[in-house]
Amino acid sequence: MATGDVKLLGAGASPYVNRVQIALNIKSENYEFLEEKLGSKSELLLKSNPIHKKIPVLIHDDKPICESLVIVQYIDDVWTSGPSILPSDPYDRAIARFWAAYVDDKWFPLMKELRMAEGEEAKAAAIEKIVEVLVVLEEAFVKCSKGKAFFGGDSIGFLDIAFGSFLGWLKVTEKMGEMRLLSEAKTPNLVEWAERFCCDDAVKDVLPKTEKLIEIFKIMQARAKAPPSN
């Protein structure tokens, strides 16, 4: 398949954008990264994703594709000569899709809850729920990996990308809250997986460093607290 013209509208700090970057790296696909500025939406973004007005948007030969996991599957469907992102067996694909949806529908909202939690009690309650969910994902990892390094087996795949893209922000939450969400005690396999994932060639230049994300977090917090301006 001809590579054609590939652009990615996004921001380096967004885990959803990181998913797409990792997928493109797996396929060794070159692309032009058009970085959206924090706090504003470009004309191109509004035109390419009029429904949600959100990043990431992949623009392939002038055709926009939106929604991170839809984009990742598109990349897998188009660039067939590179390593596969989704498993080849239909049942394993179903399991990968199931858990990817779980990450977005169950895990991520809890992280949001923790960020918004006010007071020690609310925070502790949110942390407990997050750890419970991580224990479920630990079990999923054991089943999916079948003793290998990643959810996807020997190399990173769909579920690794879906969940691993959040590791940068997970570390920020741990550092700023001075606690561990992933721990050797409760989620030993995930702890090791996380390290392997972050060092993977397709990932290491994509996930921003914790310090950088903390800076961005502080900027976002300040903006949220500042009086609204037109």
Span of 66-74, 119-127, 187-195, 202-210 interacting with another protein by CB under 8 A? 66-74
Compare residues 51 and 222 and give the one whose CB is closer to another protein: 51
Least distance from another protein to the Cβ atom of residue 116, Å: 20
Residue 35 · residue 12 · CB < 8 Å:
yes
Residues 157-216 that bind another protein (CB under 8 A): none
Question: Phi/psi zone of residue 90: left (φ > 0), alpha (ψ -120 to 50 degrees), beta?
Answer: alpha
Q: Which of 11, 29, 31, 67 binds another protein (CB under 8 A)?
A: 67
Least distance from another protein to the Cβ atom of residue 18, Å: 19
Residue 193 · residue 139 · CB < 8 Å:
no
Q: Which of 74, 111, 113, 196 binds another protein (CB under 8 A)?
A: 74
Span of 14-22, 73-81, 111-119, 121-129 interacting with another protein by CB under 8 A? 73-81
User: Does residue 136 touch another protein according to CB under 8 A?
Assistant: yes
CB-based burial, 4-38: b 16+ in 10 Å, e otherwise: eebbbbbbbbbbbbbbbbbbbbbbebebeebebee
User: Does residue 94 touch another protein according to CB under 8 A?
Assistant: yes
Distance, in Å, from the CA atom of 28 to the CA atom of 23, rounded to the nearest integer, reads 9
Distance, in Å, from the CA atom of 220 to the CA atom of 210, rounded to the nearest integer, reads 15
Distance, in Å, from the CA atom of 105 to the CA atom of 91, rounded to the nearest integer, reads 21
User: Does residue 142 touch another protein according to CB under 8 A?
Assistant: no
State residue 134 phi and psi, 5-degree precision: -65, -35
Compare residues 161 and 172 and give the one whose CB is closer to another protein: 161
Residues 102-121 that bind another protein (CB under 8 A): 102
Least distance from another protein to the Cβ atom of residue 230, Å: 25
Q: Is the peptide bond before 56 cis (omega within 30 degrees of 0)?
A: yes
Task: Determine the size of the site formed for another protein (CB under 8 A).
Answer: 22
Distance, in Å, from the CA atom of 36 to the CA atom of 122, rounded to the nearest integer, reads 34
Q: Which of 5, 35, 38, 101 binds another protein (CB under 8 A)?
A: 101
Q: Given the rule CB under 8 A, which residues bind another protein? A: 51, 60, 63, 65-67, 70-71, 73-74, 77-78, 90-91, 93-95, 97-98, 101-102, 136
